[in-house]
Amino acid sequence: MDISIIGTGYVGLTTGACLAERGHRVLCVDADRAKVASLRKGRVPFYEPGLAELVAKNVRAKRLSFDGDNAKAVAHGKAIFISVPTPPRPDGTADLSAIEAVARDIARHIRDYRLIVEKSTVPVATGSRMKEVITKYRPANVDFDVASNPEFLREGCAIADSMSPDRIVIGVESTRAEMILREIYKPFKAPVLVTNIKSAELIKHASNAFLAMKISFANAVAAVCELAGANVIEVTRGVGMDKRIGPGFLNAGIGYGGSCFPKDVAAFEAISRELGYDFGLLREVQRVNEQTRDLFLKKVERELWIVKGKTIAAFGLSFKPNTDDIRESVAVKVVQSLAERGAHVRAYDPQAMERARASMNHVAYAKSPYEAAKDADAVLILTEWDEFRDLDFRKLKKVMAHPTIIDGRNLLDPERMREMGFTYRSVGRP
């Protein structure tokens, strides 16, 4: 099928590449001309394992192409997916101006039937708004449908998630729209759930909010474990073995970050409030998340007493492993607070240093973990990259001023670290 995608961020570009890989002819459109030019040369503007190869392969096969013009997107695709950003406003509500602008643009160029699909995460009832806008600005009598098809991929494993998702959610108002989306997803082996548009929009917000809630819950349990002398790894393993709860997203750490959870929990709370429901549980999820970061910073202070003037090595800056994304990264926030308190922070991350350098210049960047740890009073593990699991710890210990590791991700084995002579602290473990 001829498909257009407007917006080539993580979601848009991955969706485009995966749909092309499954045999569709996909045109990806982005307003950023420089980005389009580099995508045409096969250059992906962010790090996502396997994506550059998949893009290049499908460009070569002429199933995937790029353009800067929304008019082309409307002409090309029978279905047009919108995956432009919906960033948070200061009050937590989602800024939908990019969605609205694209909807108007589509309406201006539409000449015959098109299915317009929301792929971006949007608050419930955005689909109805889009329908109103397109109806208002389209030429008279041109038929169209709006649908919601939320994306559940995670950065770092975006292709695998997109190729074989747990479910494909299709929110539609007509059989025609349902048939088109079913046809698009036929080559994907995943259960399809068909709902109305509002339910599909809510499934996305409710899913992300629930996952964030699981993480905050695990972090709260970790705090209690620490006070009581229990081990959060054992506790969450035991809890997660209950099929009704499930083992995923119960890893305690320094709190959740990234471009989705913080934004979506806030937006879901805000839209619920606008509709007349006080979703206080979601405010608590956010509060626990901030408290988790503060508790970690307190732990650093407990070890170092005075942070000012100390050399601290930060291992990891990206909001999670296998990405160079530092948006809303808790690792970055921890580094910033320590630098503000007068610590000399030397950071190392396998992928995210270039991005971090552009926004944080009061921090030194090292070429290797050992260089970061040279003469350091403590090493903080802030992102659970595999590289940090497999370090030469003897070498690490030798280069440090004092062998202290504060592991915010429970990446290392406490017993092994202590046997090797490290002062080792982690989250919710004795």
**Could you list the active site residues?**
260
Stretch that binds ligand UGA, among 39-47, 54-62, 153-161, 418-426 (CB under 6 A): 153-161
Distant-in-sequence, close-in-space partners of 77: CB < 8 Å, separation ≥ 6: 2, 3, 4, 5, 27, 114
Out of 18, 106, 260, 343, which residue is the one contacting ligand UGA (CB under 6 A)? 260
Quickly tell me which residue has 């050992």 as its tokens: 370
| DSSP character at residue 248 | T
417: number of CA atoms within 13 Å, CB side? 22
The C-alpha angle with vertex 410 and arms to 406 and 412, in degrees rounded to 5, equals: 80
Stretch that binds ligand UGA, among 65-73, 182-190, 254-262, 343-351 (CB under 6 A): 254-262
Out of 250, 265, 307, 411, which residue is the one contacting ligand UGA (CB under 6 A)? 250
Angle between helices 280-304 and 197-228 (to 10 degrees): 40
The order of strands in the sheet holding 378-381 is: 364-365, 344-348, 311-315, 378-381, 404-407, 423-425
Stretch that binds ligand UGA, among 20-28, 93-101, 247-255, 369-377 (CB under 6 A): 247-255
* By CB under 6 A, residue 154 contacts ligand UGA: yes
- In whole angstroms, give the CA distance from residue 231 to residue 296: 16
Amino acid at 56: A
Which CB, 320 or 355, lies closer to ligand UGA?
320
Strands (E), 130-201: 144-148, 168-171, 192-195
Sign for the pseudo-dihedral over CA of 213, 10, 120, 153: negative
Out of 256, 268, 348, 422, which residue is the one contacting ligand UGA (CB under 6 A)? 256
Stretch that binds ligand UGA, among 36-44, 79-87, 123-131, 208-216 (CB under 6 A): 208-216
Which CB, 67 or 151, lies closer to ligand UGA?
151
Q: Is 364 helix (H, G, I), strand (E, B) or coil?
A: strand
Tokens (6 digits) for 65: 């192409």
Which CB, 75 or 157, lies closer to ligand UGA?
157
* By CB under 6 A, residue 153 contacts ligand UGA: yes
Out of 215, 334, 347, 379, which residue is the one contacting ligand UGA (CB under 6 A)? 215
- In whole angstroms, give the CA distance from residue 242 to residue 222: 18
Out of 257, 350, 408, 414, which residue is the one contacting ligand UGA (CB under 6 A)? 257
* Site mask for ligand UGA (CB under 6 A), range 333-372, x = bound: ----------------------------------------
To the nearest whole angstrom, how small is the minimum distance from the Cβ of residue 115 to ligand UGA?
22
* By CB under 6 A, residue 296 contacts ligand UGA: no
* By CB under 6 A, residue 46 contacts ligand UGA: no
Out of 249, 279, 370, 393, which residue is the one contacting ligand UGA (CB under 6 A)? 249
> What percent of the residues of the chain are helix, what percent strand, and what percent coil, each to the nearest 5?
45, 15, 40
**Contact (CB, 8 A) for 396 and 372:** no
To the nearest whole angstrom, how small is the minimum distance from the Cβ of residue 264 to ligand UGA?
6
**Contact (CB, 8 A) for 88 and 208:** no
* By CB under 6 A, residue 265 contacts ligand UGA: no
Which CB, 310 or 320, lies closer to ligand UGA?
320
Interface ranges with ligand UGA (CB under 6 A): 121, 151-155, 208, 211, 215, 249-251, 253, 256-258, 260-261, 319-320
